[in-house]
Structure formats: structure tokens, C-alpha cells
Amino acid sequence: MQSPSRLERMHGHLALDFTLKQQRTRLMVREHRPPLQVVRDFGLADGTSFVHLHNVAGGVLAGDQLTTTINLAAATKVQLTTTSSTRIYRSDGEQVAYQAVQANLAEHSLLEYWPDTTIPFAESLYQQQTRIDLADDAGLCWWEFLAPGREAYGERFAYRRLRLDCDIYALGRPLLLDRMRLQPSLQQLNNPLYFGNYSYLATGYICRVGLDAAQWKALEATLMAFAASQTKLGRCLWGVSCLAAHGLMIRGLSTNSRDLLATAFEYWRIAKQALYGTSPNLPRKIY
Amino acid sequence: MPRLGDFLLGYTGVMMSNAALAQLKLLQLADSALPIGTTAHSYGVESLVAEGQLGVAGLGQFLRAFVHESGQLEAYLAYQAWQLGAAEFSQAWLDLNAQAAAFKPARESRHASAVLGRRLLSLALQLEPLPRWQQAITLAQTQQIETHHSCVFGLVAAGLAIEAEAMLAALLQQMTLSLILACQKILPLGQVQAQQLLWQLHPSIQAVVAQTPSTSFADLASCSIGLDGASMRHPLLGTRLFIS
């Protein structure tokens, strides 16, 4: 096996531009540097451009610096998904595996992001920074799923440090600054302030800039009722809350990943119907 | 050596330094009995208790983490407000409160912070009508923004010439005590035990106070996913003692 010090550090980059042509959203890959790659986009029936994000390295290694920029032109509709879980490999030294995503959504555009679960292996060090800028009437459905490690391997919160940031701005103002630093050696993650008796985390951000507070309050009530029906103490907990404006956030904690993945789509199905009057397309995967 | 100007002559004839007077004002503003409604909120703790996730046995550990995580955020906000200069105050005040709201994903907890902030600013202005505080209230009204408790606490402390370190310690002590008082209403937690818990948190408070001046916006990553989720579920509780 190759020693970690001999592994080549990757500075991968992906720049995706989406434009509108004849009522359909088209992808232009402005730049891609390994290990990040996009093969092609698929046009969905409603004109949405559906894209698989590949990491041909199979995961993020210590020292890797991977950046992705996504630009949606006005009125474009995009759905992104990953091709597999994001595996964060161990770091033998102090080198951090780093991924950053910058998404810019122009007026009336819509971005749906359905990644697979992020799995931080034992001894991994990982930093993920996401920044999303929303213009007027831009819409967003963005999910993140986090595992405690390779549970089947007996790993639970065996990583060294995770730093996960998602900063969402609407019309240039901060809408949500959702940041967390998880360091099991310093924090007792079974503390109910963090995970309690649960291990898996799902976070969803649903936004559409410009909708008034009353509409968000009504959607919160609808999703909250659904959250209550899905919450099973000791197995799965869900919460839904309006943001200060333009959106809401969903958070789930579970003892297993399946509960989260399957339920997350239902939230978006309800929300997309309320916000856009249409049903979402579920990426073809096993949930 | 204190100078003559550092002392005031009270009606009893007792001399008190300006620093001691500032401390006195801080004690009043950080008192749990201050009528701004701090005891009406649990910030999601009520849900954690109702769900059986939090009991007396785990309270010490929970509160320590609370101080390190939520305390880090609130101390940062208060310190930024305390530092605001006269130049471009209006925009900086709007930006800071927008950040405060964005760092609070749970609606009830965010609303609690805004209500306490509004009441504290209003009360402070009735105690001492400083122009900066009036400006902050006018901005909130004209721009229709929420003013968050920690931001207001820092702003008020700066106006009263209270040192940053003392201000931060008092803020953290107050927010932790409020939570302990909330716990006393929903858990079998005695008075002495409650005071012991708070006492034992002093090293954590001290640590957060010490690190706050060097904390930047980019560094800030307070994590309370369990408590945030519990606050989001709080409206679902059938019987509730607290507003949040």
C-alpha cells in the first residue's frame, strides 16, 4: 500500500454553467480538473438539467483541495446528485481534506441538490465549505447527509475533526449561517446538545426568495405535521423551522441512514408542490 | 492610582469609583430578575426533557457544551456590538443583527433572542437615554429588523463603559442561569444543586470569554444540532411551560 506521504494531493476543480436555450436548461462545463468530473447532463421532461457529479478518486484524501462552482443563469432549472457516498479518508498527519462549493443562482432559477451520504472514516480531518447566493425568486432545495463513520466497521464518531459550513445569502444578505465543528476528542457527541443517542444527521434547506412570511409559516406548519408523523423517539427525530426570511430548514437525527434519505425526499415533494405546483424527480437510487 | 475624577460622591457620602459604578449597572442588567422575559424561554430544552433526552444526571455535561457552543456565538455577537464605533454605526448594526438571525436556524429560539433584545434596549433607554441606543431602536423600527439580545447586551455595555471581559462573563452567566432556572421548572433540580451547576461552569465561561476577542467571523462554528432540532420541535409539544 502506498504510504500517505507519497499520495499525490489533488487540486480538483469543477466549473459548471447552466444557461437557458429554447426553454430547456443546458450545461456547459467551463472547467474540470480531476478527480472531479461531469460526463454529461440529462434533460428531464420539465426542462431541468440533471447532472451526476463524479469524484473519480472515490473519496476525498487528506490534503485534497476540491472546489466546485455552479452558476445558474436566469430561469434555469438544475438537479445535481452524486454518484456515490463521499468517503473521507483518514489523515495520518495534520493534512485536512477540503471541499468547497460556490453556487450562484440568478433570478427565477431553481437548484435541487441530492447528494449521497458523507462518510468520514476513522482518523479523518475534513472541512467542507458551501456558499450559496440567491437572487430574486431563486429557489433552492439542498440536502446534506452525514454518517458517523463506517458503522459496519465499528466506526462511530471515530473521525478527528469535521468542519461543515453552509452559508446561504439572499439578495446579498445572510439568510442562514449553518456551521458546525465536530471534534469527538473534545466534544461528547452523545450529549443531547449534539447527537444524543442518534448517529446520522440530515439537513435540508428549502428556499425561494421573495415569498412572504405568511406563506413560509403555512409551509412550516404543513412540513411540521409531516415531521411529527415521521418522528419516532429512539429511532428518528425531525424538526422544521422557518428561517428569518425566504426559506426554511429541516433537520433530522436518526439511528440509521435509510430513515433520513427516504423521508428527506418527501419533505421536498410536499414543499415543491406548495412552492412551484409541481412534483420533484427523485434521482434513481436505492433509498 | 485612581484619580479624583474616577470617584463619585453618593448621597450617603460613600465614595465609589466609576469602575465600581459600571459594575453595579452590569449587575442590574445581567440580573435574572431583569423584566425582559428571560425566564419564559428554554430554547428547546423543554423538548429535550419531554423526549427523555435530558435529565438531571446529564445536565452538567449538557450545560458545559452549551456554554462552549451557544456561548461562543452569543459572546461573539456581544463583543462585536461592544466594539462598534461611531463611524458607519447604522450599517454595522444592521449587518450584525442580520448575522445573528442567520446563525439561529430555529424560529422560536431566534424569536426569543429578538424579543429579549428589543425589551432590553427599550428598558436601557428608559434607564439612561443615550443617543446611540436611541439610534439603534430607530434603526430597528425604520428598517424593520430584529435586534438580538446578545448584540443589544454588548451595545448597552459599551454605552455604560463596561469592560468587555466583564460584559462577556455577565452575559454568559445570565444566559446559563436562565437555562438552569428553566430546568428547575421541568426537572427535579434543587436550589443548591442548581447553584452548584452554575458554579462549576465558571471555568467554561472563563474559557469562552478568553477566546472571544480573537474569534473571527470565519472561525465561528458553534454546533448545537440537537438543541436546534429540539427547538424546532417545541411547537409540537402538547403542554408547554415555555414560549421557546
For the domain that residue B60 is a member of, what is the CATH number?
1.10.4190.10
Please work out, in degrees rounded to the nearest 5, the angle formed at the alpha carbon of residue A165 by the alpha carbons of A162 and A170: 170
pLDDT(B1) > 60: no
Residue with cell 447552466: A18
Say if A61 falls within a structural domain: yes
**Count of structural domains, chain B:** 1
pLDDT tier for residue A285 given thresholds of 50, 70 and 90: confident
Compute the distance between CA of residue A276 and CA of residue B184 in angstroms, rounded to an integer: 46
Residue A66: inside a domain, yes or no?
Answer: yes
For B70-87, what is each residue's pLDDT tens digit? 999 999 999 999 999 888
The reply to whether A281 falls in a domain is: no
User: Across the interface, do B233 and A188 touch by the CB < 8 Å criterion?
Assistant: no
| Domain contains B83 | yes
How many domains would you assign to chain A? 1
Position B79 in a domain: yes
Whether B114 is covered by a domain: the verdict is: yes
Average pLDDT score over residue span B130-149? 95
Q: Is the residue at B22 inside a domain? A: no
Q: Is residue A199 part of a domain?
A: yes
Q: Is residue A1 part of a domain?
A: no
Residues of A whose CB is below 8 A from B108: 241
Bigger pLDDT: B115 or B15?
Answer: B115
Structural domain containing residue B82:
44-231
The answer to whether the Cβ–Cβ distance between A241 and B54 falls below 8 Å is no
Structural domain harbouring A55 = 10-276
Q: Which residue has the cell 430513515?
A: A259
**Residues of chain A positioned with their CB less than 8 A from the CB of B231:** 239, 241
What is the H or E stretch that residue A240 is in? strand A236-242
pLDDT digits (tens, 9 = 90+) for A232-273: 999 999 999 999 999 999 999 999 998 899 899 999 999 999
Q: Which of B51, B53, B201 to mutate: most A Cβ within 10 Å?
A: B53
Closest CA to A86 of A41, A35, A46: A35
d(CA A268, CA A261): 11
Answer yes or no: is A2 within a domain: no
Whether A209 is in a domain gets the answer yes
Q: If pLDDT is split at 50, 70 and 90, which confidence band does B11 have?
A: low
CB-based contact (8 Å) between B69 and chain A? yes
pLDDT tens digits for A20-34?
Answer: 999 999 999 999 999
Q: What share of chain A is helix, strand, coil (3-state, %, to 5)?
A: 15, 45, 40
A215 to chain B, minimum CA–CA distance in Å? 15
Residue A287 lies inside a defined structural domain of this protein: no
Residue from the list A174, A224, A253 with its beta carbon closest to the beta carbon of B226: A253
Please give the average per-residue pLDDT across A96-102, as a whole number: 97
Residue from B69, B107, B175, B211 whose CB has the most chain A CBs within 10 Å, to mutate:
B107
DSSP bridge pairs for A36: A55
Predicted local confidence at residue A168, as pLDDT? 98
Do B181 and B40 contact (CB within 8 A), yes or no?
A: no
Confidence class for position B18, pLDDT limits 50, 70, 90: confident
User: Which of A187, A191, A239 lies nearest to residue B232, judging by beta carbons?
Assistant: A239
State whether residue B90 sits within 8 Å of chain A by CB.
no
Condensed to tens digits (0 to 9), the pLDDT of residues A172-225 reads 999 999 999 999 999 999 999 999 999 999 999 999 999 999 999 999 999 999
